[in-house]
Amino acid sequence: MTASAPTPRRPTGPVAWIAANALEIAAAAMLVAICAIVFAGVFFRYFLHIGLGWTEELARYLQIWMTFLGATVAVKRWAHFQLTIVDQVIPHRARRFTRVFAILVVMTLAAIMIKHGTDITRVTWNQSSPVLGWQIGYLYLMAPVSGVLMEIYALRHLLRVWRGEPDEPSGGAHAALAAAPD
């Protein structure tokens, strides 16, 4: 019998779950906020005949932030960019290369987001939004922040693939293909 290394224990409980799913929770909260804000805008305009000018602008900003968070969550879960069709027709040993290629594409695009997102944030930092008066730079700041988070998650996937581990912690298309016989 060979002794196997003990598996590291992951923290459990509600606090650990919230910490592990903070991005998902933030994106869901933004979606709920968008729905409430748009509903309030429609209700006030058509039923109370009072126009709330800020609802459209705030909902738009939240939608942009939510989109970037959602893209980051997709990279975190590795649901963002997959070559599943290619993986199904190539030999099992070659799948590692398609996964590395996909990860490198995501990392390249995230680096572009960081570079250009930082540039546009810098340019718009002192501009104010028309209704809310917020700095527009805050809106664009989400692009480089999301890019940095994508780089971290993609690097984590790259390390898993490099070590020969399944590149998805939760299982998914690639994990199912990795388990499939040739």
3-state SS of 28-48 is: HHHHHHHHHHHHHHHHHHHCC
φ, ψ dihedrals at 8, nearest 5°:
-65, 140
- pLDDT value for 178: 41
Three-state secondary-structure class, residue 135:
strand
| Structural domain includes residue 90 | yes
Q: Where are the alpha helices (DSSP H) in the chain?
A: 14-20, 22-46, 54-76, 84-89, 95-124, 136-162, 173-179
| Structural domain includes residue 6 | no
pLDDT in tens, 25-54: 999 999 999 999 999 999 999 999 888 889
| Structural domain includes residue 29 | yes
- pLDDT value for 5: 54
The parent domain of residue 158 ranges over 19-179
Q: Please indicate whether residue 168 or residue 18 has the higher confidence score (pLDDT).
A: 18
| Structural domain includes residue 8 | no
How many structural domains comprise the chain? Answer: 1
| Structural domain includes residue 1 | no
| Structural domain includes residue 5 | no
| Structural domain includes residue 9 | no
Residue at token pair 């003990």: 6
